[in-house]
Structure 1
């Protein structure tokens, strides 16, 4: 009877471990930063943890991993969402970015410079279902500002593969669940071994 209980608990532990692995594998990914375009938020070599997201779930201010056909040699890049569908995004060299006529507060930009020495002036309305993206290191980011002749530099929402996130409580909970599953599996194995030693098969 006791061994049966431990076997059930062991099976439950295995289910928990497999479930956590499947959940994390399906819901999260990582990407390595390869350029200075997102300094100081991310530096080259940093590995960014991202959660997979659906089109339409991205919000202004999110840092996203996106891949757009015809840009960056087909590689996925990390950039920040500055404008979403319907937003009017504008900027003059040396001035802050404005969204719908209001200066955007951007404490994350490199050296406090929201423009960058090579940035062209722009004034665009983001089409519905698309995003206007910038790097945090504006002087060293090949972002939406440099593709203005292609749908005002915007990318489709569907180009977003995942977004960075700071709240890791969900992953901590998943880790604890996996640990519980491991304890149950190990407990079941120990009980099985002990039971066989006490009652050897003849």
Structure 2
């Protein structure tokens, strides 16, 4: 006859296989909440997360015009990095940025019509923003830089000519609107569209008594980093090599 203590110890063997009884299984299932009760909570969590992502990380923007062709086409959806500005990062030369209209630059432009649902989804980040007060351009010069573009000449930053392969085919750097030289105040940026003949950018607002063509850094929403939609247009938006040429940041040689 076996020892009762051995039998009892064997029942506690951690390697033994434990079979779930029908009663245990029924009790476990009855402790779960029905899906219809959990769904509203899941929806609320998803909306909160979408809002936080849109507010602090990334936001989708819809391109409303042709001013950035061929880099960006009308109707493209771009993702804008809103995180790095929280850590003190400021716009740099060559970046494509989204910014709030600094002084009625969009006056006369048609306002996109959206219904209540679209406005709500745009507010929480589940649809691209179509805020008529936002613009997208390329940063050409930053605070302290001197920028100019003479007729038949290239854009120059601190005396360095820019090679601009991103210009729309057939466009000149600035023959439609030569300018400068102008020095960008600290805390401001000078922006231009890649489709120069279709871009009402810094060049066209030099006489604006409020901005003088410059965009305050504080009005910059963030940097556009990728074309996310349509999928056939997917592409990153890196800084062109010309903005990294030696000496472009040397303002003593301007």
Q: Where on the TM-score scale, by shorter chain, does this alignment land: which range?
A: 0.5 to 0.7
- Bigger RCO (CA 8 Å, 6+ sep): 1
Three-state SS of the structure 2 residue aligned to 1:122 is: strand
Partner of 2:201: 143
Gaps of 5+ in 1: 8-13, 169-202
Structure-1 residue corresponding to 2:53: 24
2:144 maps to what in 1? Answer: 86
Q: Distance in 2 between matches of 1:32 and 1:114?
A: 26
Q: Counterpart of 1:60?
A: 93
In 2: Cα distance, 1:62 partner to 1:114 partner? 20
Listed one character per residue, the Cα deviations across residues 148-180 of structure 1 (whole Å, up to 9, x for unaligned) are 123441110011112101499xxxxxxxxxxxx
Task: Check conservation: 1:41, 1:136, Cα contact below 8 A.
Answer: yes
Hey, what does 1:44 align to over in structure 2? Answer: 74
Cα distance in 1 between the residues matched to 2:212 and 2:225? 27
Larger helix fraction of residues:
1
The SS at the match of 1:110 is: coil
2:177 counterpart of 1:113: no
Q: Structure 2 length normalisation: TM-score?
A: 0.55
Q: Does 1:133 align with 2:188?
A: no
- The answer to whether the 8 Å contact 2:77/2:227 transfers is no
Segments of 4+ in structure 1 off by > 3 A? Answer: 16-23
Q: 2:222 aligns with which of 162, 167, 175?
A: 162
Structure 2 unaligned regions, length at least 5: 1-27, 33-41, 108-131, 229-254
TM-score for both structures, normalised by structure 1: 0.68
Q: Is contact 2:80–2:226 with CA below 8 Å preserved after alignment?
A: no
